[in-house]
Amino acid sequence: MSLSIEYIPATSPVHKLHALTKLAGALTVLTLSMLMGTPVPLVILQLALLGIAAVANVHQELLGAMKGLLKVAVVLIVLQVLFYSEGTALVPLFAGLAITDQGILFGVTMALRMLVIVSSFLLFLMTTPTRSTVLSLVEYLKVPYDYAFLFITALRFIPTFIEEVHLIRQAQEARAHDFSGGAFSRVRSLFPLALPLVSISLKRAERMAMAMETRGFGLPGRTHYRLEAPEAGDFLMMLLMVLAVVIISLFL
C-alpha cells in the first residue's frame, strides 16, 4: 500500500491556491460527505476529487493511495454487512445475523465516505507545502506554533519510520530471525522489530529537542520569513464552497 502523504512539487492552479483555501476545501468535502447518505453523490464527489487531482497532476499518486484504501473499504463493507440488522434480510447468517439490503447500502456508503474524506485530505497534503500549512495554521487560525509544529513533524517522520522499520527488519533477519509464523508466535516475533524502533525513536526525539533548543526554539516573538496572504481567487473559491454546502444541504 503506497499512501503518499508528501508534498509533490508542481505548478498547477491547485498548487497556487492558498493553503487555507485547500484546507477549507478538504473540510467542505468532509461536510458534504456527511450530508450525503447514498452512494451515487459520493461517487460523483470522488470523481470530482480525481478531476482536481488531474488538474494538479497528482492523480497518479492519488489513484495509488486509493488502491491501498480499497482494502480498508472492503473491511468496512464486510463489517457493516455482517452486523447491520435493519432492512430486508437477503441471506440469513448464524446467531441471528443476516445480510440485509440496507446493510449493503450502508456499508458501501460508509466505505465511499471514508474514501472521499481521506482522498480530499491527501489531495490537500500533496498539493500544499507543509511550510505553507503551518504558516496558515499559525497566522490565520491562531493555532499555537508548538501544536502546528507537532502536527507537521508527525507527518514528516512517517517516511523515516518506514525506512527504520526496513533496516531493523533486515538487521534481525541477518541474525537468522524469522518474522513469519503463527498468530501468537508472530506477535512475539515482532519484539525484535518493535523494541529497537521505540528506543531509536525516543532517542531521536530527545536529540531533536536538544538541537531545536540550541537554535532557539520556543523563544517568544517568533517571526516568519515568508508571508502568504489569500488572494481574490481564494476568496472566490471559499465562497463557492460555502454555497455548495448550503445548496446541497437544502436539496438532500
Partner 1 sequence: MDVFPAGHPLLQAQQLKHTFRTGRCALQSVNVTIHAGEMVAIIGRNGAGKTTLTKHFNGLLKPTAGTVLVGGQDTRRVSVAQLARTVSYVFQNPDHQIFHGRLFDEVAFGPRNLGLSGKELDQRVASALDAVNLAAYVDRDPAELSRGQRKRATIASVLAMKTPVLILDEPTSGQDYQESRQIMAILQQLHQQGHTILLITHDMELVQEQAQRVLVLGDGQLLLDGSPDELFRQASLLQIAGLRRPPIIDLQHRLEELGLTASVPTAESLAAALASRIQQGPSVHVDPTPGRNAACP
Let me know: does 18 contact 59? Beta carbons within 8 Å. no
Which residue, 141, 112, 110, 124, is CA-closest to 62?
A: 124
Helix (H) / strand (E) containing 224: none
Candidates 43-51, 119-127, 148-156, 167-175; binding stretch for partner 1 (CB under 8 A): 167-175
Residue 124, CA distances (Å) to 54, 59, 194 in order: 13, 13, 31
- For partner 1 (CB under 8 A), the number of binding residues is 19
Residue 3 three-state SS: coil
Q: What angle do CA 52, 58, 61 make, to 5 degrees?
A: 125
Instruction: Pick between residue 175 and residue 215 the one whose CB is nearest to partner 1.
Output: 175
The mark string for 100-129 relative to partner 1 (x by CB under 8 A, - otherwise) is ------------------------------
The one-letter amino acid at 124: F
Contact set for partner 1, span 147-166 (CB under 8 A): 164
Contact set for partner 1, span 181-210 (CB under 8 A): 191-192, 195-196, 199-200, 203
The minimum distance between CB 164 and partner 1, in angstroms, equals: 7
The minimum distance between CB 173 and partner 1, in angstroms, equals: 4
Given 86, 101, 146, 173, the residue binding partner 1 (CB under 8 A): 173
Should residue 177 be labelled a site residue for partner 1 when binding is judged by CB under 8 A?
A: yes
What does DSSP assign to residue 95?
Answer: G
Let me know: does 16 contact 227? Beta carbons within 8 Å. no
The minimum distance between CB 245 and partner 1, in angstroms, equals: 40
| Residue numbers at the binding site for partner 1 (CB under 8 A) | 164, 167-168, 170-178, 191-192, 195-196, 199-200, 203
